[in-house]
Amino acid sequence: MKIFVINAGSSSLKYQLIDMETEKVMAKGLCERIGIEGSKLTHKNPGKGTETEIEKPMKNHTDAIKMVLDALTDSDYGVISSLSEISAVGHRVVHGGETFSKSTLISGEVKKAIEDCSEFAPLHNPANLIGINAIEQAMGKDIPQVAVFDTAFHQTMPKEAFMYGLPYEYYEKDKIRRYGFHGTSHRFVSGEAAKFLGKPIEELNIITVHLGNGSSVAAVKGGKCIDTSMGFTPLAGMLMGTRCGCIDPAIIPVLMNKYNLSADEISDIMNKKSGVAGISGVSSDFRDLDKAAAEGNERARLALDMFMYQTKAYIASYAAALGGVDAIVFTAGVGENSPEVREGAVKGMEFMGIKMDTEKNKIRGTVDISAADSKTKILVIPTNEELMIAKDTAELVK
């Protein structure tokens, strides 16, 4: 069975074609600048080791998807001879609100519900819907499509974890609450951790630490999420590449009044000009920060220290929420690649039974980086949201 996975953004579209028998990626790529001048498709064929760049105008997502489908069936760099080889299409959908607690086969009703959730993710859900409609147009209405939500895994949080201390009617009327994001990644790596430990996930308390451009931590008890650091939007939690994370909410009206900022302007500052980029003044990329800090840049050092400190604070608080922790799992760009951040995020936690082997931590790709006498396993597990989406899709169309 071959599953086509799509992650549609407002002006970009990422895709993978996955062979479910081998779980291998047959083709993958990215459409950039959709609807803007200079549209480009980069298509990779890992089997042949080729990368093809096609620069051609893409007016909209339908154009982009048509180009991708042409690339998949191209006699030169394609990987299938006909679109009929694709059994189903899985879509990453950012927000499923309180409606979706698992992945779902897409119907007219489901599309309407995804649209209803757009108010929570105004940049993402509409793009995801366009992706779904574009597939219908290009491949016909009969191709099964599945929506896999970033928020779904976190729907098991208890009310005391997901409510905010605002007047209750804002929850009732406006559904203002913590939703959490990166759910597909937290679910994938917690499952992989259980496999690695050789224990049923139902018996494990796991803290998953997804550190990338966006970062979040989740507390997973018996395979179910009981708390997570992102909130009503992906702005909450620890500071991130360019996002401020949780701050005293009273700072917002103070800055708005003092600098005469609109809601959009303050939102832009908190989302795009803050985080480790805003603190360091150097970059949102952790490789640049590492380099600058090593060269003595104090603000880059501070940004890294804040990032590690805030990550540690989440790990400690979730250890308490879980009542003990069997494994901490680091994943995503920074979590998989930065030994320094991993070390800083668990430093000084030996009193809690969390002890890293700092030598193992330096070896790239090592899975278990805990010291032999650590009560808690510390693991590094690469995330694979596309594979998780493909697996859910395959399961639902079986």
Q: How many residues bind ligand ADP (CB under 6 A)?
A: 12
Q: Min. distance of Cβ 254 from ligand ADP in angstroms?
A: 30
Q: Which residue is nearest to ligand ADP (CB)?
A: 333
Of the pair 78, 180, the CB lying nearest ligand ADP is at: 180
- Phi/psi region, residue 260 (left: phi>0; alpha: psi -120 to 50; beta: rest), is left
Residue span binding ligand ADP (CB under 6 A) among the ranges 37-45, 73-81, 332-340, 343-351: 332-340
For residue 384, state whether it binds ligand ADP (rule: CB under 6 A): no
For residue 214, state whether it binds ligand ADP (rule: CB under 6 A): yes
Task: Please pick, from the candidates 90, 212, 245, 278, the single residue that binds ligand ADP as defined by CB under 6 A.
Answer: 212
For residue 73, state whether it binds ligand ADP (rule: CB under 6 A): no
C-alpha pair distances (Å), 291 with each of 243, 364, 372, 381: 21, 18, 31, 25
For residue 29, state whether it binds ligand ADP (rule: CB under 6 A): no
For residue 334, state whether it binds ligand ADP (rule: CB under 6 A): yes
Residue span binding ligand ADP (CB under 6 A) among the ranges 22-30, 169-177, 279-287, 342-350: 279-287
Of the pair 319, 329, the CB lying nearest ligand ADP is at: 329
Q: Min. distance of Cβ 286 from ligand ADP in angstroms?
A: 3
Of the pair 42, 101, the CB lying nearest ligand ADP is at: 42
Residue span binding ligand ADP (CB under 6 A) among the ranges 19-27, 208-216, 264-272, 309-317: 208-216
Produce one character per residue of 20-44: b if its CB has 16 or more CB atoms within 10 Å, e if not: beeeebbbbbbbbebeeeebebebb
Residue span binding ligand ADP (CB under 6 A) among the ranges 142-150, 284-292, 322-330, 349-357: 284-292
Task: Please pick, from the candidates 29, 78, 183, 241, the single residue that binds ligand ADP as defined by CB under 6 A.
Answer: 241
Name residue 269's amino acid. Answer: I
Of the pair 2, 92, the CB lying nearest ligand ADP is at: 92
Of the pair 4, 330, the CB lying nearest ligand ADP is at: 330
Of the pair 290, 368, the CB lying nearest ligand ADP is at: 290
CA quadruple 92, 97, 100, 105: dihedral, nearest 10: -40
Q: Min. distance of Cβ 222 from ligand ADP in angstroms?
A: 27
For residue 78, state whether it binds ligand ADP (rule: CB under 6 A): no
For residue 332, state whether it binds ligand ADP (rule: CB under 6 A): yes
For residue 213, state whether it binds ligand ADP (rule: CB under 6 A): yes
For residue 10, state whether it binds ligand ADP (rule: CB under 6 A): no
Has 288 been annotated as catalytic? Answer: no
Query: Rounded distance, CA 50 to CA 65, Å?
Result: 20
Of the pair 182, 221, the CB lying nearest ligand ADP is at: 182
Residues tagged active-site: 150
Where on the chain is the footprint of ligand ADP (CB under 6 A)?
A: 212-214, 241, 285-287, 332-334, 337-338
